[in-house]
Chain A
Amino acid sequence: MSATHFRWPGFDTVLNAFAMWFLAFMWALPLLYAIWTAFHPAAYETNFVWNAPLTLDNFAKAWAAAPFARYFLNTFMLVTMILICQFVLCTLAAFAFARFTFPGRGILFALVLLQLLVMPDILIVENYKTIRSLELVDTILAIGLPYFASGFGIFLLRQTFMSVPRELDDAARVEGTSFLGLLWKVYIPLAKPTYLAYGLVSVSHHWNNFLWPLIITNSVETRPVTVGLSVFAAIDAGLEWSVINAATLMTSGPLLIAFLLFQRQFVQSFMRAGIR
């Protein structure tokens, strides 16, 4: 806004600004509070003085009290595995729905969309039986398997692929490019913002997932951080809040930092992905 157009903000604007700040503060409060307790000695848990001594002891204690390094490795492997499989499977399926005509396309697409409603998250009883019959209980692979094909991912990529100009497609076909080459050279590069948006959603979803990993894992070697944290916090005898909050921050830290770094791209890629 240039200086010539400057107007004193009206009462309406001031009121809205204050309301927004208030709500934003309320929303940030749990996180700010966790940061406060995690970086201060236990004595300052509810004593908010500006000169309270800073410490990293809580993190050290939490790190020593449970095998968090292993949990992080498990989560990292899990999230990477799911992301790669989702990208490959959803890309192929979305391409088929967007550019091929074949019998059964409509009904198959409806079945894919059904997964948006009936998610593996709620089919825990039968999926557990399936994993048990595959003898995969307590493996990282088992945590990921139900999520490899994602209805949301297929839907999102199909929308993007359908917006690719037909002329580009035809030109490549005339040159005799194979379907896979066409996908690789034309469609995937044009869908980059969608991949970014979907990737961020997928990573944060599976980093945070709890119920299914809780059911399917029962050892340190397979537990992701979320389950590890719940096991750690459940011992509770003698654990100080400051230590629990340090562990809480630690488990969400990488994701939170990634979000703060990418938040602009995140919001923008959502918008470009055409989710409205």
Chain B
Amino acid sequence: MMHRREWVYGWLFLSPALLFLFTFTHYPAVKTVISSFYSTPKGRRPAKFIGSENYQTLIQDDVFWQVLVNNFWFAVGTIPISIGLALLMALWVNSKLKGRTLSRVAFFAPTVLPLIAVANIWMFFYTPGFGLIDQFRSGLFGLPAINLIGNPDTVLAAMIVVAIWKEAGFFMIFYLAALQSIPPVLKEAADVEGASSFYYLRRILLPLLMPTTLFVSINAVINSFRLVDHIFVMTEGGPDNASSLLLYYIYETAFKYWQTGYAATLTVVMLVLLSILAIGQFFLFDRKVHYQ
């Protein structure tokens, strides 16, 4: 009798949240897959089933492949560096170094700033001739002006720098939380044994931080698909789509060219990539993660 009452209450308490979750996450995710097999509805002409036509377009779409490659390099450029820096920041801020409180504020501040707003500031840094980077280059080394975001070869790297700056401090917080939960006894024992700081870091800290690294790296992967706000302000995907990322291309396809059928197909690619990467990371880390 008691159990039956628990069932009812459990479902009752859960239902409002589930209603919203299903409407705006699960339903659209499934609907995206369905829409990818349909044409884009135009005017009075409803969407009609076209089989794999959108996927054939996808394979022949040069821009799609370029955007995918861009996103790959964006991920490769941002994920390891931001995680590495986050760990370094956390170790510093957690130590007894002078100025650690102020440093913590500096590292974390980009997290609370809107990406769209800081893009304006970075934009100024990168402005050829007039911007801070060029002022620095010409003032100190007498180098000529360079246009970092106007050049297809450098624009993606310039975007990667902005993304690392934005997210490293956020990841630092998770490492900091983990570091503070590690008993100081371990460090004392290592000192007694005469272990070097490096040995302590490699053989004791890093293994203990593995669950955090897994959590942070999954977040970093998601961010590498999600962080596109700065593109709107800085490059609009240009020049020649050299800085366009998958989500930005989805936005353009759906809301600039109103090709919603094809945009759904692109979204399917993104969902598949996200799932593969998340599952892959889980298995990659699984053997190395030791839960306490």
Interfacial residues, chain A to chain B (CB-CB below 8 A): 1, 12-13, 16-17, 19-21, 23-25, 27-28, 30-31, 33-34, 37, 46, 88-90, 92-93, 95-97, 100-103, 105, 108, 111-112, 114-130, 145-149, 151, 154, 179, 204, 207-208, 210-211, 214-215, 225-226, 229-230, 233, 241, 244-245, 248, 251-252, 255-256, 258-260, 263, 267, 270-271, 275-276
Is B143 close to A, CB under 8 A? no
The distance from the CB of A236 to the nearest CB of chain B, in whole angstroms, is 10
Contacts of B109 in A (CB 8 A): 27-28, 31, 256, 259
Instruction: Indicate if the CB atoms of B21 and A151 lie closer than 8 Å.
Output: yes
Asked if B99 and A21 sit within 8 Å, CB to CB, the answer is yes
B176: interface (CB < 8 Å): yes
In chain A, what residue has the closest Cβ to B261?
A125
C-alpha spacing A124/B197, complex, angstroms: 48
CB–CB A96/B121 < 8 A: no
Contact of B173 among A103, A125, A270 (CB under 8 A): A270
Q: In the assembly, what is the distance between CA of A114 and CA of B26, in Å?
A: 9
The answer to whether B114 touches A149, judged by C-beta atoms less than 8 angstroms apart, is no
B14 touches A93 (CB 8 A): yes
Question: Is the pair A270, B20 in contact by a Cβ cutoff of 8 Å?
Answer: no
Query: Do B117 and A229 touch (CB < 8 A)?
Result: yes
Contact with A276, one of B24, B29, B97, B178 (Cβ below 8 angstroms)? B178
Once A33-B121, A122-B226, A275-B177 are accepted as A-B contacts, the answer to whether A115 and B11 lie under 8 Å apart by CB is: no
Inter-subunit contact B24/A145 (CB<8 Å): yes
Contact among A101, A119, A252 with B6 in the assembled complex (CB-CB below 8 Å) = A101
B18 contacts A108, CB within 8 Å?
A: yes
The 25 listed contacts between A and B (C-beta, < 8 Å) are A13-B97, A20-B97, A31-B110, A46-B130, A90-B17, A100-B9, A114-B26, A122-B225, A122-B226, A123-B29, A124-B250, A124-B251, A125-B28, A127-B24, A179-B13, A204-B112, A208-B113, A214-B232, A229-B114, A229-B120, A230-B232, A241-B124, A245-B120, A263-B108, A271-B180
Q: Report the nearest A residue to B114, measured CB to CB.
A: A208
A19: shortest Cβ distance to chain B, in Å?
A: 8
Nearest CB of B to A173, in Å: 10
Known contacts being A108-B14, A125-B267, is A120 close to B112, with CB within 8 Å? no
Give Cα distance in the complex from A271 to B212, angstroms: 12
Further contacts, 13 of them, CB under 8 A, given A103-B7, A105-B10, A233-B120: A20-B100, A23-B89, A23-B107, A27-B169, A31-B113, A111-B18, A122-B270, A122-B271, A124-B254, A146-B24, A208-B114, A251-B117, A276-B212
Query: What is the interface of chain B, defined by CB distance below 8 A to chain A?
Result: 3, 6-7, 9-14, 16-21, 23-29, 31-32, 35, 85, 88-89, 92-93, 95-100, 102-118, 120-122, 124-125, 130, 132, 135, 165, 169, 173-174, 176-178, 180-181, 197, 211-212, 215, 218, 222, 225-226, 228-229, 232-233, 247, 250-251, 254-255, 260, 263-264, 267, 270-271, 274-275, 278
Residues of A within 8 A of B130 (CB): 46
In the complex, which of the residues B104, B107, B117, B124 contacts A226, with contact meaning CB atoms closer than 8 Å? Answer: B117
Residues of A within 8 A of B10 (CB): 96, 100-102, 105
Tell me whether A117 and B114 are in contact (CB under 8 A).
no
Roughly how many angstroms separate A67 CA and B267 CA in the complex, as a whole number?
35
The minimal Cβ–Cβ distance linking A106 to chain B, given in whole angstroms, is 12
- In Å, the complex CA distance between A210 and B113 comes to 12
Contact A20 B99 (CB under 8 A): yes
Query: Known contacts being A24-B107, A125-B250, A126-B28, is A149 close to B21, with CB within 8 Å?
Result: yes
B3 touches A101 (CB 8 A): yes
| B13/A100 in contact, CB under 8 A | yes
Inter-chain CA distance A259–B13, complex, in Å, is 33
Which residues of the partner chain A approach B20 to less than 8 Å between Cβ atoms?
89, 145-146, 148-149
Which residues of the other chain, A, contact B232 by a CB distance below 8 angstroms?
Answer: 210, 214, 230
> Which of B88, B178, B197, B229 is close to A210, meaning CB atoms less than 8 Å apart?
B229
In the assembled complex, the CB of A264 is this many whole angstroms from the nearest CB of chain B, namely: 9
